[in-house]
Amino acid sequence: MPDTIKVLVTGAAGQIAYSLLYSVAKGDVFGTDQPISLCLLDIAPMMGVLGGVVMELQDCALPHLKEVIATDKEDVAFKDVDVAILVGSMPRREGMERKDLLKANVKIFKSQGAALDKYAKKTAKVIVVGNPANTNCLTALKSAPSIPKENFSCLTRLDHNRAIAQIALKLNVAPSDVKNVIIWGNHSSTQYPDASHATVHVGGKDISAFEAVKDDSWLKGDFLKTVQQRGASVIQARKLSSAMSAAKAICDHVRDIWFGTPEGQFVSMGVISDGNGYGVANDLLYSFPVTIKDKTWKIVEGLKIDDFSREKMDLTAKELIEEKETAFEFLSSA
Ligand code: NAX
């Protein structure tokens, strides 16, 4: 039996966590033979609600859930953590300026980064989900200098899964037949969902997505818009943001970090851009295609970037540079 690992989920009283915690606790992410100590962090006013989540997790009677800790204290939450899934963040309230939202989140992720630095294992893997996810991840990374920056990533897997699903729906194939789509850049509406390196399994072989779809204007038009705007469409319909699909994407993301990506396949993930070959400025938390082995990601090298892609990749990089500049102003003054 492997040693128990401590998995922290922040924003644990929220709606994504409500879908996520059961999957993590029952073994969808770390395997069904991995004992888990689950730590739930939320803010003080949510402790009552969190108590209910703890009761439900206990009532699931899961064999490998060794312990559930609920807390509003960062020192308790981050102590000896193996995996930190940072879901909680400051939501945008009506009339709130983008800058103010960024400022409130810099405060949260600076504090949680410092707690990671002080209390977590140096091998801890940190996954940021709370928006603005890329810049929050960069803030946490910069605030935890003793943890390797490669241990940090942010979630763009939901966008990646949305892109796969759109192509699968268009062709009436299974999502597992669509591989190697890419989300470049920011988890925002400037993201670039790129199908130019994607393949689809049809007629017993893998062919390029463009060849399979036979509709370039869709892959360069409505497909992009649908994926970019999918979060807003879900909010409009449900009056709540994506939660079930976000939880599923978090599971996919963390499971791939833990067990690696299948041979010949890559996934999208926001990681630090240092030394990439795609002309993205260094020191941005930018979503790239990555492969993962031995719990370490590597940006896929050598993909050809045409002018259409270049323009879109630069646009989303520009937004991330602006977010970073604003965040760093607050980071130094916070
Ligand atoms: P909810 O509002 O349901 O839950 C958020 C929870 O975080 C609340 O319980 C709140 O009390 C808690 N929280 C706030 N500040 C905290 C702090 N400092 N420490 C610990 N907990 C804190 O939101 P939910 O729908 O669960 O979404 C959570 C975050 O995920 C949001 O920022 C959302 O925008 C983001 N998303 C990111 C996605 C991605 O792909 N990166 C997709 C889904 C989602 O939109």
DSSP for 195-226? -TT-EEEETTEEEEHHHHH--HHHHTTHHHHH
DSSP per-residue string spanning 220-244: TTHHHHHHHHHHHHHHHHHSS---H
Cis bond before residue 132 (omega within 30° of 0): yes
**What single string gives the DSSP state of each residue in 114-166?**
HHHHHHS-TT-EEEE-SSSHHHHHHHHHHT-TTS-GGGEEE--HHHHHHHHHH
Answer yes or no: is the C-beta of 193 below 6 A from any ligand 1 atom: no
Cα 121 to Cα 284: distance, rounded to the nearest angstrom: 24
pLDDT digits (tens, 9 = 90+) for 14-29: 999 999 999 999 999 9
Q: Which atom of ligand 1 is nearest to the CA of 158?
A: 40
Reduced to 3 states (helix: H, G, I; strand: E, B; else coil), residue 14 is coil
Is the CB of residue 40 below 6 angstroms from any atom belonging to ligand 1? no
Ligand 1 centroid to Cα of residue 103, in Å, is: 16
159 with 316: CB under 8 angstroms? no
Distance 166 CA to ligand 1 centre (A): 25
d(CA 223, CA 165): 10
pLDDT value of residue 94: 74
* CB distance 89 to ligand 1 below 6 Å: yes
Using the mean position of ligand 1's atoms as its centre, give its distance from the Cα of residue 13 in Å: 9
Q: Whose CA is nearest to atom 32 of ligand 1?
A: 130
Residues 6+ apart with CB under 8 A from 66: 4, 35, 36, 37
Q: How far is the CA of 17 from the centre of ligand 1 (A)?
A: 8
Pocket of ligand 1, candidates 89, 98, 186, 323: which has the most ligand atoms within 8 Å of its Cβ, to mutate?
Answer: 89
Confirm whether 187 is a catalytic residue.
yes
- Tell me the percentage of the chain whose pLDDT exceeds 70: 100
Q: What is the pLDDT of residues 45-65, one digit of tens each?
A: 999 999 999 999 999 999 999
Contact 241 CB / ligand 1 (< 6 Å)? yes
For 82-96, the pLDDT digits (tens) are 999 999 998 877 777
- Indicate if ligand 1 lies below 6 Å from the C-beta of 86: no
Q: Please determine, for residue 34, whether its predicted confidence score (pLDDT) is greater than 80.
A: yes
CB-CB contact of 132 with 330 (8 Å): no
Sheet containing 5-10: order of strands: 65-71, 36-41, 5-10, 83-86, 125-128, 152-154, 267-272, 285-293, 296-299
Q: Is 88 helix (H, G, I), strand (E, B) or coil?
A: coil
Residue 298's φ and ψ, nearest 5 degrees, are -140, 130
Would you state the pLDDT for residue 334? Answer: 60
If you search the block for the tokens 């038009």, which residue do you land on? 221
For residue 268, pLDDT over 70 is answered with yes
| Active-site hit among 187, 197, 201, 253 | 187
Does any ligand 1 atom lie closer than 6 A to the CB of residue 13? yes
Ligand 1 in contact with 242 (CB < 6 A)?
yes
11 lines ligand 1 (CB under 6 A): yes
Q: At what angle do helices 15-26 and 244-259 cross, to 10 degrees?
A: 40
170 touches 213 (CB < 8 A)? yes
Q: Which atom of ligand 1 is nearest to the CA of 46?
A: 11
Which amino acid residue places its CA nearest to atom 4 of ligand 1? 14
Q: Which residue has the higher pLDDT, 117 or 332?
A: 117
143 C-beta closer than 6 A to ligand 1: no
pLDDT at 51 (0 to 100): 98
Contact 143, 113 (CB under 8 A): yes
Percent of the chain with pLDDT strictly greater than 90: 93
Go through the domains of the chain in sequence order and give each one's CATH number.
5-154 (3.40.50.720), 157-321 (3.90.110.10)
pLDDT at 91: 82
Q: Is the pLDDT of residue 164 over 90?
A: yes
What distance in angstroms lies between residue 2's CA and the mean position of ligand 1's atoms? 31
Distance 104 CA to ligand 1 centre (A): 13
